[in-house]
Amino acid sequence: MGDSPVVAIVGAGLVGSGWALVFARAGCEVRVYDPDEPTRSRLPAWIEASAADLESNGLIASAAEVIGRVRLCESLPEALDGATYVQESVFETVESKTAACLAIDKAMSPQTIVGSSSSGIPASQFTGNCRHRQNFLIAHPVNPPHLVPVVELVPAPWTDPSALEQVRELMNRVGQVPVHVRREIDGFVLNRLQGALLNEAWALYEEGYASLADIDATISHGLGLRWSFMGPFETIDLNAPGGIADYAARLAPLYYRMATQRVPRKWPQETIEQAQAERREVLAEEDLAERRLWRDSVLSRLAAFKKTNGLGP
């Protein structure tokens, strides 16, 4: 793919715009295509503000240089012209992904590799009819990708192992942290872990054990502090004198008992409405966008802290 490949971003919503910054700050020429006019007109100001934030936190040397590498294109073929890597970030439906991938497949060169930002739909559900389907795989980021570096690489059964290897190298080179999910599963690893936590959080809230705010505080002032620099296995390895096996000997029966107390069920609509009302009391709907900027600014400072303390990618 070369040291600084030309990268096409297809779909420039929340995630696609973050991807544009990931590649541009690493020195790649980035071509962005999104047919939605409001999304297109929002992009330049968002890139400018986010690049300025990265610069002020010492995460990039020059915002102007990064901004100069991002070009908004009028059509998909224009965005793909000369691109050796494509990051697809359209809506999370099989229909939308299938249409976008077939269009990319038609316009791309046979050497181009395509990573899909799909949050949980495996690539085999939407790339099967592509001529170059061996070049397609999942490259699932976390939002926003320019501030949360992990990216799950999940091959379809027909993905060429060398395509996977090239995307792994590219992600390392641009400062992301690739994680290899060896075979397809709904939700991959990240959203399965998040799903386990969310399912339990909804149940505890519905059953009245704690308020939304207190459940959130349990993570933001509790578990989340360690999780921002170590995973659950390392966490428990340090939480018993004899390490992970000692932890399991002491606490596995409790975890098993908790697991037997739950049966899978849908998140109840009534509980969702109650949670929505509770959240909108503390954060009005019109303030969501500003709060996202606040979140990104905290993440920027956290990324700067991790970088200067040897905890970064």
For residue 51, the minimal CB distance to ligand NAD (Å) is 18
Stretch that binds ligand NAD, among 59-67, 116-124, 162-170, 177-185 (CB under 6 A): 116-124
Q: How far is CA 182 from CA 161, 173, 177, 186, in A?
A: 11, 21, 16, 13
Radius of gyration of the chain (CA): 21
When asked if residue 179 is in the footprint of ligand NAD (CB under 6 A), the reply is no
When asked if residue 294 is in the footprint of ligand NAD (CB under 6 A), the reply is no
For residue 308, the minimal CB distance to ligand NAD (Å) is 27
For residue 263, the minimal CB distance to ligand NAD (Å) is 27
For residue 243, the minimal CB distance to ligand NAD (Å) is 33
For residue 89, the minimal CB distance to ligand NAD (Å) is 4
Q: Is the Cβ of residue 23 or residue 33 nearer to ligand NAD in the bound state? A: 33
Identity of the amino acid at 57: N
When asked if residue 33 is in the footprint of ligand NAD (CB under 6 A), the reply is yes
Length of the chain: 313
When asked if residue 11 is in the footprint of ligand NAD (CB under 6 A), the reply is yes
Q: Is the Cβ of residue 100 or residue 123 nearer to ligand NAD in the bound state? A: 100
Supply the DSSP string of 233-254, one letter for each residue.
HHHHHTSSTT-HHHHHHHHHHH
- How many other CB atoms are there within 10 angstroms of residue 228's CB atom? 12
Secondary structure element (H or E) that encloses residue 98, with its range:
helix 94-107
Mapping DSSP onto H, E and C, the string for 99-151 reads HHHHHHHHHCCCCCEEEECCCCCCHHHCCCCCCCHHHEEEEECCCCCCCCCEE
Taking CB under 6 A as the criterion, the residue among 5, 7, 8, 16 binding ligand NAD is: 16
Stretch that binds ligand NAD, among 6-14, 218-226, 268-276, 302-310 (CB under 6 A): 6-14
Q: What x/- string results for residues 54 through 93 when contact with ligand NAD is judged by CB under 6 A? A: -----------------------------------xxxx-
When asked if residue 118 is in the footprint of ligand NAD (CB under 6 A), the reply is yes
Tokens of 234: 């390392």
When asked if residue 10 is in the footprint of ligand NAD (CB under 6 A), the reply is yes
When asked if residue 100 is in the footprint of ligand NAD (CB under 6 A), the reply is yes
Q: Is the Cβ of residue 98 or residue 235 nearer to ligand NAD in the bound state? A: 98
For residue 143, the minimal CB distance to ligand NAD (Å) is 3
Supply the DSSP string of 24-71, one letter for each residue.
HHTT--EEEE---HHHHHHHHHHHHHHHHHHHHTTS-S-HHHHHHTEE
Q: What is the side-by-side order of every strand in the sheet holding 70-72?
A: 70-72, 30-33, 7-10, 85-88, 113-116, 136-140, 150-155, 177-180
Q: What are the residues binding ligand NAD (CB under 6 A)?
A: 10-16, 33-36, 39, 89-92, 96, 99-100, 117-119, 140-143
